[in-house]
Structure 1
Amino acid sequence: MHSHDNRPIAAALLAAALIGLAAPLAKLLLGEVDPITLAALLYLGSGLGVFLIGGVQAARGRDRRHTEAPLRRGDLPWLFGVIISGGVVAPVLLMVSLESVPAATAAVLLNFEAVATTLIAALIFAEPVGRRIWAAMACITLSCVVLSWDPGAVLGFSLPALGILATCVLWALDNNLGQRLSGRDPFQVIAVKGIAAAAITLALAFMLGERLPDLTTASVAMLFGFVSYGGLVSVLFLLALRGMGTARAGSLLAIAPLFGVIFSFAVFPELPEILLFAAAPLMALGVWLLCSENHVHLHHHPALVHEHRHRHDDRHHDHAHAPGDPPLTPAGDHSHSHRHDPLEHDHPHRPDIHHRHTHR
């Protein structure tokens, strides 16, 4: 990856804008669709939308195997994890919780996903996180605590708000497991995840006696799902994961509540809660700390053989090609198995798939 390649940042920020649509759109649909059925339709739209785009590309003669690495048998445990955590349990919990939480408040609470993503990346998967990132996480966490406070509730916290925070933890786990799949074809990953998760969730909805909505409402829900609950968002986020690592990509999603609050007030003409004004400055400070990080030091790359989409104008891909390797696309990239020789150098970088080294 280029040291100054901003495409992963752009992908993460666009994903954040689309995620901001998630809470108000789901809140709008919950008046027409039962919660578990809605969760299933959102992810069905996600998976089918990406699958159809891939089909159109194939019909036009584009072979994605030349530009993206396909899923392998060794990816199945990670794929199963993202299906269950991020595709089944998290959306069901979110839909149930959204019934009792204002859309704007929910949009801001969903920012806790960035905190949980970074915590899991640092504490479980040993991704390097500096003091600046920890300070940002503290600001965002405190803002979520403020928004969850309910003096009249048991233990002083709103149960539906805690449900949204639990959703964030599950999606954070999904993000970290997804990092292990970030070198694979994002269209293939998201299509499998969306369709499999929808099948499981629909079965659960039928077992609980929920009914399908009319065709028009179901189609609208699936379209929203493709835009904001997987589909396009997930493809963008996987591209960001590939170039930035889990903690940074997840942290950039912290700007999503800004879009979420704007969309919520546009859709629901409700007065904002007082706590929202108290939490907003903390959230803004956390986002600024995250987006202004710069990471430079001398680091070592060990010998490595792997397969992923790559270019040849960066610091890491100067390998030769075998006769059977696919040609470069007009954009200058392709995918094939290749070797990296040991290398030591100093440049700005993020914990992408080539920079997962340890730090002292």
Structure 2
Amino acid sequence: MNNKGAYKSQLLLPILQVLLAAALFGASAPAAKLLLSRVEPVPLASFLYLGSGLGAFLLLLLRKTRKTWTQAEAPLRLKDLPWLSGAVLAGGVAAPIVFLFGLKSTPAATASLLLNFEAVATTLIAVLFFRESGGLRTWIAVAVITLASILLSLKWGGAWGFSLGALGVLGACVLWGADNNFTRAISGKDPFAIVVIKGLAAGLFSLVLALLLRQKLPPFELIALALAIGSLSYGVSIVLFILAMRNMGAARSSALFGTAPFFGMLLSFLLFRETFTWQFAVSALLMVAGAWLLLGERHAHIHTHGPIVHEHRHRHDDLHHAHSDNESTTGDSHSHLHEHEQVTHSHRHKPDLHHRHKHGRAGKES
């Protein structure tokens, strides 16, 4: 398989992963809206994230029966704690609580649409603070998705403006954008372990907060339902997103993850029988156009990888892991501490674990 064919093949899996993650996460808004009529926001946020942690923990136990898979993932280390803590506080505690307070006074379809802003926030933070590259097509895609969000947020026939509920949803998107970039820094580590720690830590923190605020806890059947929703929408979804971000970078993964509101709006129409409007139709087309622009991005230039020692899941049949060790070199995935020597070459790439270099005029994006 040539370089171009290998690139396309390696890109297909993370695309499928992030789209499935988007569908599961998109379903969380209408599903949570149904529960908010009977459960307060803080305890609901707690059980949603406890569900994500418990669900990922069960998958982790199941995975341990497959020794080869367990050995293939890099474990979390003490140096990862600051990034993990930031992800827990921003994305696991603050974001869901702010989002649920906003969702309580916002129609499910509108809230689902506004979640598009997470891709915008993630991209801006990734480019401005973490120096991730962003080509013209990436920025156009972000602009198109944002335009779709604004279009469906407009109130026709009266004064236009954002409600406090909508601002709450947008604020949550900014927090999730920060979370995505914190998680990007440890995306090479075991995604199941990340979700278990993040879910259980955030869920327990929010549960303690709910008890301190003396908010009433829901009956067992609603707790079980919230746990189930959380395990899929925040557990499995986050695992898939981390796996995709490992190979696509935070900005591009999040831009594709921006299709989550589209899935959420479809489910909202089915659950709440909301009217299908021309705004929705036009916005849907804009979202598709934004995704197409993102997927069509081509980034190739001569670049230099400096010497680095790190640990993550990898194979020996790619462009960056030609080292030899005691592990199989037949293409099996495995994880161990390994060293990269300095190398200069040119090929198509994304801002993954090995391509977080600086870009100047030599870079070429279209």
Asked whether the two chains share a fold, i.e. TM above 0.5, the reply is yes
Could you tell me the TM-score, scaled by structure 1's length?
0.92
CA distance in 1, matches of 2:158, 2:341: 59
Residue equivalent to 1:333: 333
CA deviation string 1:243-264 (max 9, x = no partner): 1111111111122222112111
Which among 12, 16, 30 is matched to residue 10 of structure 1? 16
| Shift of residue 227, structure 1, vs aligned partner | 0.4
Distance 1:16 1:319, change over 3 A: same
CA distance in 1, matches of 2:303, 2:48: 42
Tell me, what secondary structure is at the counterpart of 2:67?
coil
Structure 2 residues without counterparts, runs of 5 or longer = 361-366
Query: For residue 23 of structure 2, what is the amino acid of its counterpart?
Result: A
Distance 1:48 1:63, change over 3 A: farther
Tell me, what secondary structure is at the counterpart of 1:350?
coil
Distance 1:241 1:61, change over 3 A: closer
CA distance in 1, matches of 2:200, 2:225: 17
Distance 1:73 1:152, change over 3 A: farther
What is the root-mean-square deviation in Å for CA atoms of aligned residues?
Answer: 2.2
CA distance in 2, matches of 1:228, 1:23: 9
Query: For residue 133 of structure 1, what is the amino acid of its counterpart?
Result: T
| Shift of residue 330, structure 1, vs aligned partner | 9.5
Which among 52, 74, 77 is matched to residue 58 of structure 2? 52
Whether the aligned pair in 1 keeps the contact of 2:63 and 2:70 (CA below 8 Å) is no
Residue equivalent to 1:70: 75
Decide which moves more: 19-28 or 75-84.
Answer: 19-28
Tell me, what secondary structure is at the counterpart of 1:3?
helix
CA distance in 1, matches of 2:262, 2:295: 14
CA distance in 2, matches of 1:65, 1:228: 24
| Shift of residue 82, structure 1, vs aligned partner | 0.3
| Shift of residue 26, structure 1, vs aligned partner | 0.8
Which among 111, 126, 151 is matched to residue 121 of structure 1? 126
Structure 1 residues without counterparts, runs of 5 or longer = none
Query: For residue 24 of structure 1, what is the amino acid of its counterpart?
Result: P
CA distance in 2, matches of 1:50, 1:94: 22
CA deviation string 1:9-53 (max 9, x = no partner): 121111111112111111111122211111110000000111122
Residue equivalent to 1:298: 302
1:357 partnered with 2:354: no
CA distance in 2, matches of 1:139, 1:159: 24
Whether the aligned pair in 2 keeps the contact of 1:151 and 1:157 (CA below 8 Å) is no
CA deviation string 1:185-206 (max 9, x = no partner): 0111110000000011111111
Could you tell me the TM-score, scaled by structure 2's length?
0.91
Which among 181, 202, 213 is matched to residue 176 of structure 1? 181
Decide which moves more: 267-276 or 121-130.
Answer: 267-276
Distance 1:63 1:44, change over 3 A: farther
Whether the aligned pair in 2 keeps the contact of 1:38 and 1:221 (CA below 8 Å) is yes
1:111 partnered with 2:116: yes
Moved over 3 A (4+): 146-155, 272-284, 327-331
CA distance in 1, matches of 2:167, 2:150: 10
CA distance in 1, matches of 2:38, 2:161: 31
CA distance in 2, matches of 1:114, 1:55: 32
Residue equivalent to 1:204: 209
CA distance in 2, matches of 1:163, 1:278: 25
Residue equivalent to 2:196: 191
CA distance in 2, matches of 1:330, 1:313: 7
CA deviation string 1:255-299 (max 9, x = no partner): 222211211111111224665455444333323222221222222
